[in-house]
Amino acid sequence: MNQIQTLAQKGEQLRQRDRLAEAEAVCRQALRLDPTHLAAANTLGQILIQTADWPALRREMERRVAHLPGDQGLWERSNITLLFGDLPLGWQQYEARFRIPGLIKPQRDFPQPRWEGGPFPGRTLLLHWEQGQGDTLMFIRFAALAKALGGRVLVEVQPSVAGVAATCPGVDQVIPYGEPLPPFDLQASLMSLPAILGTTLEGIPAAIPYLDVPAQVPNREPIARILAATHGLPRLGLVWAGNASNPYDPLRSIPAAALAPLAALPGVAWHSFQPGLATPPPFERIIPLGPLLSTFSDTAYALSAMDLVVTVDTAVAHLAGALGIPTLVLVECLPDWRWLMGRPDSPWYPTLELWRQPTHGDWTSVIRRMAAELAGGQP
C-alpha cells in the first residue's frame, strides 16, 4: 500500500470515529499528493456534508470536474451551480446539455426557431418535454409564465403525463409524445424555460397547486373501492424505490428492511404507490395501489386521498408537490441539484419536507427519526 492509499484509509477511519477535523486534514494531504484519488475525495466530500461546510463542498466538487473539457465540463458544473442555489448562472450552464451528443433524450431538431422569452401575441409556442416524467411535472409550471407573454401554448409530454399536464394553468393543448404535432411558430424545451425566463431562487413560480386531478381517471372506480376500505383512518402513501434502470437508483432507493419502523405506527393506513416492483412490500399491512396506477391521472387521484406521502426522489414526489399534498421526501446526502443543499424545505414545492441522509447510505437513522416524529403527531 502506498502513502496516498494509507492516508485515504486513515482519513476514512478518522471520519468514522467522528474526528472530522483530523480526517479532513489527512484527506487534503492525500489529495495534494494525488488530486485524482477517488477514495480521499469521496471521504472529504462526506466530511464537508457532515460539517455542513457548503462553500468548501462546492469548491471541492468544482475541483473534481475542473479537468473536464468544453461542454462536458460546463454541464457538470451546471449541476453543481444549481445544487448550491446559484440559479441564473446554473441555468445558462445547463444549456450545454444540448451540445453533448446523446446526453438528452429525446433529441429534437425542429425547424421552428427557439423561443427566447419575448412576447409572441397571435403566434403558437410549443413546449416539449425532455428527460424524465418528474422533470415534466416539475417544469410544466412555467407554461403559465409563457402564456402571459403571448398567444397559444402547446405542450408535448410523455403519454403517461398527458392527463395531469392538461390541468396546468397556461396550457391550451397537450399532445402526447408520438402523436402528430399541430402547426406552431416557436418552440422550447420545458427544462430551458428557467434559463429563458431568468428564474432566480427567490422567483421560482411555486403557487401550489398548479396541477389537479383530471376529469378522466382510467382506474377511478377500482381505486375508489380500495380507498373506501380505509375511510376514517389517516391515509399515508409510500414509495421506497425508483426506476431500477436509472444508474443513480441505488443511491435513492431504500431497502425494504430499513422501513420497518414505519410499520409500527398505530392507527394509520399505509398505501403503496410503488409501480411494478418484483420485490415484496416492506411490511404486511400496506395496501398496494401500484397495479392500478396506469397513468399519472390514476396516481393524482389516489394521491388526492392521502393525508401524507412519504417518498424517495421519484416522479411521485413532484406530482404530490404539484398537487399541494403534504409530503416527506427522503433525499440522499449528496442529492440531485433540484433539492439544493442543507435545507429542510423546497422552494419548488411549499408542502414538501426534505429528510436528508446524515451520511452516505444511512437511511436507517432517517427512517427511525421520521417514525418517531410521526408517532408523536399523527397526520
Could you please report the per-residue DSSP string of 239-271?
E----TTSTTHHHH---GGGGHHHHT-TT-EEE
Residue ranges, comma separated, of all CATH 3.40.50.720 domains in the chain are 120-197
For residue range 325-339, list pLDDT tens digits in order.
999 999 999 999 999
Please work out, in degrees rounded to the nearest 5, the angle formed at the alpha carbon of residue 377 by the alpha carbons of 373 and 378: 110
Q: What would the CATH number be for the domain defined by 120-197?
A: 3.40.50.720
Query: What letter would DSSP give residue 343?
Result: -
Model confidence at 247, pLDDT cuts 50, 70, 90, reads low
Lowest mean pLDDT among 11-20, 204-213, 294-303, 325-334: 11-20
Among candidate residues 315, 319, 291, the one with its CA nearest the CA of residue 303: 319
Q: What would the CATH number be for the domain defined by 220-376?
A: 3.40.50.2000
Please give, one letter per residue, the 3-state secondary structure of 26-86.
HHHHHHHHCCCCHHHHHHHHHHHHHCCCHHHHHHHHHHHHCCCCHHHHHHHHHHHHHHCCC
- Rounded-to-integer distance, Cα 68 and Cα 76, Å: 8
Q: Which long-range contacts (C-beta less than 8 Å, at least 24 apart) are formed by 178-184? A: 181/126, 181/154, 181/156, 182/124, 182/154, 183/124, 184/112, 184/124, 184/125, 184/126, 184/154
Cis status of the peptide bond prior to 182, with omega within 30 of 0: no
For residue range 14-59, list pLDDT tens digits in order.
999 989 999 989 999 999 999 989 999 999 999 999 998 999 999 9
Query: What letter would DSSP give residue 140?
Result: G
- Rounded-to-integer distance, Cα 293 and Cα 273, Å: 8
* Cell reading at 140: 410544466
Does residue 252 register a pLDDT over 80? no
**What are the angstrom distances between the C-alpha of 260 and each of 234, 254, 367?**
19, 11, 8
Mean pLDDT value across residues 355-368 = 93
Residue ranges, comma separated, of all CATH 3.40.50.2000 domains in the chain are 220-376
Q: What would the CATH number be for the domain defined by 1-67?
A: 1.25.40.10
Residue ranges, comma separated, of all CATH 1.25.40.10 domains in the chain are 1-67
Q: What is the pLDDT of residue 61?
A: 93
Angle between helices 54-65 and 38-50 (to 10 degrees): 160
Predicted TM-score (pTM) of this structure: 0.93
Q: What is the pLDDT of residue 283?
A: 83
Does residue 258 register a pLDDT over 70? yes
Q: Output the average pLDDT for the chain.
A: 93
For residue range 337-361, list pLDDT tens digits in order.
999 999 999 999 999 999 999 998 8
* Cell reading at 361: 447510505
Does residue 1 register a pLDDT over 60? no
